[in-house]
Amino acid sequence: MSLLFEPLSIRGITARNRLWVAPMCQYSAVDGVPQEWHHTHLAQFASGGAGIVIAEATAVTPEGRISPEDTGLWNDAQRDAWSPIVAAVHARGALAGVQLAHAGRKASTWSPLTGRRGSVPHDRGGWTTVAPSAVAFDGFADPVALDAPGIERIVSAFADAAVRAVVAGFDVLEVHAAHGYLLHQFLSPLSNRRDDEYGGELEGRARLLLRVVTAIRDAAPDTAVFVRFSATDWADGGLTVDEVATVAAWAAERGADLFDISSGGLVAHQSITVGPGYQVPLAAHVRRTTGALVNAVGMIDDAAEAEAVLADGAADAVMAGREWLRDPHYALRAAWELGHDIDYWPAQYVRARPHARS
């Protein structure tokens, strides 16, 4: 019996398996509105057997977009455009999630599809970015430090976006506190130089994230809430996995259901040695320390490797990104490779099922 294909229940929902699609930015929205590309992109993974399909980092304010081409949930037009996409994922048997995000000082940047790097000038559609402190990411424009009213607007924007996401039909709300974006910027001492209640020791640096989790839980009391963390900055003096485990425990007390453990992205001088499953030990540490549900992510591109992550007790589920792009039917393939029979092959594709009669 494959652990990877055991269902997992979380706050009233049940994922049909534990091989999920990580959020991956497509840089293809118009005014924050997802397009036909997003519909096809996300629905194909559900056809391919994913347990949960999580949509890309979706900004809670216009200024929270990584690029002008990012998706959003700050208005009802965006909500209504997401609704049929969510329905398509559901129709194919998967749960649908969305990653609620604010890019902070890493906002207003050129989409990688343009081949450019750095901040978009104001006269080309860019905007002034915000951050915990007026400290720029290397090569990007200087941000403005958020004041108290600005912080209140951020918390409200996450809650409002959560309500829109629930109306659109999403089953999972993932709070993006990783990869150097705003909530991660507050968590790390490398980017948070504040001397007020949102800075200093870990409790202060975690305050905004915890307020966001609380606001989302209050706005969506019955919906599963995940938090994606960068468990280390891979840089001296940065956020550590022990600190992240502590913050995760605090977030669980405020209603977070699962922690999605990634790493890095805060500073350009990070030093990472990557390889298959290189972030799995970080997930294992958070799971062991908190006792909470955790998923692992990062170069877990092989069915046997994914199964081993669960068998070793390192995580409760596995997310993948690039492997789903290479093979949108990763879960169907993985079930066959692990010798596990599943009953959710699309009827239209059964003729291609291994050992099926033609």
Tell me if residue 343 falls in helix, strand or coil.
coil
Single out the catalytic residue among 181, 198, 278, 344.
181
Comparing C-alpha atoms, which of 24, 33, 85 is closest to residue 56? 24
Both tokens assigned to 211: 């307020």
Cα–Cα dist 53/43, whole Å:
8
φ, ψ of residue 193 in degrees (nearest 5): -110, 20
Amino acid at 113: L
Bridge pairing between strands 8-10 and 13-15: antiparallel
Amino acid at 106: K
d(CA 233, CA 246): 16
d(CA 316, CA 63) in angstroms, rounded, equals 34
Give the single-character DSSP code of 23. Answer: P
Catalytic residue flag (residue 278):
no
* Residue 210 CA: distances (Å) to CA of 33, 186, 193, 213, 337: 28, 11, 19, 5, 41
**What is d(CA 114, CA 121) in angstroms, rounded to the nearest whole number?**
14
What sign results for the dihedral spanned by CA atoms 168, 173, 174, 176?
positive
The DSSP H or E segment spanning 108 is none
| Backbone region of residue 341 per phi and psi (left: phi > 0; alpha: psi in -120 to 50; beta: other values) | beta
Tokens of 115: 């081949």
Token couple for 154? 């951020």
Catalogue the active-site residues: 181
